[in-house]
Structure 1
Amino acid sequence: MKALINSVRLMGRLGMDPEMKLFDNNRKLARTSLATNEVRRTGSGEKVTDAQWHNLVLWGNNAEIAEKYLKKGKEIAVEGRLTTRSFTDREGRKHFVTEIVVNELLMITKKEQEEKELAAEAV
């Protein structure tokens, strides 16, 4: 049960290219967003899709993978843990941010789709 404490698993599409940051000790950080979609039906039978946005934080090797391979729109699955941090903006207001620190990353985009994307980039 210990492995279940603060464990998050999500699958969705990236909402932006990763933003990279390099620290003095050559440690890399990548930040991006992930959209997960839930499809449901209304009382009248109409199909509705609800999107939830999640902030992802990737460190070290995962950040390097993100920098090389992840682009907006790519479908991925992640496993990680929830963290909450706070910061004060320039106007003195305190903000709270919930993020998922990614432990494992799986790229789901199919090979055929990836080949089409590479061909489109080459043009």
Structure 2
Amino acid sequence: MTPWWEATREGRLLLQRCEGCGHLQHYPRALCTGCGGTDLGWQESAGRGAVDSFTVVHRSPSPEHAPPYVVARVRLDEGPILLTNLVGDADWHCDQRVRLAWRTLDDGRRLPVFEQE
């Protein structure tokens, strides 16, 4: 996970890539979800995709997340799906094209979020 988080500091979204079968996955893990292999590397994402599904949260479970906000599944053009937030004023809908944006954390790392393309 360290390479993934460090890349976010530079505004780069990394996907885990299996050196054995070429499968791309996100979130990073110990085994390839395609073949079960353990020879895993990294590939940078272009940061483009489409909204797969989403919901607008109007009642937040904690004060740190001011409603309303949008939680979504974004299918990257490279294939993997990210659970993320959609940001910006848009009339969101499934299959809508989106591009990578970033939300900066207090320690300098960033979380990938997506905005309308």
Larger helix percent: 1
Give TM class, smaller chain.
0.3 to 0.5
Larger RCO, structure (CA 8 Å, separation 6 or more): 1
TM-score normalised by the chain length of structure 2: 0.44
Q: For the pair shown, which has the larger CA radius of gyration, 1 or 2?
A: 1
TM-score normalised by the chain length of structure 1: 0.42
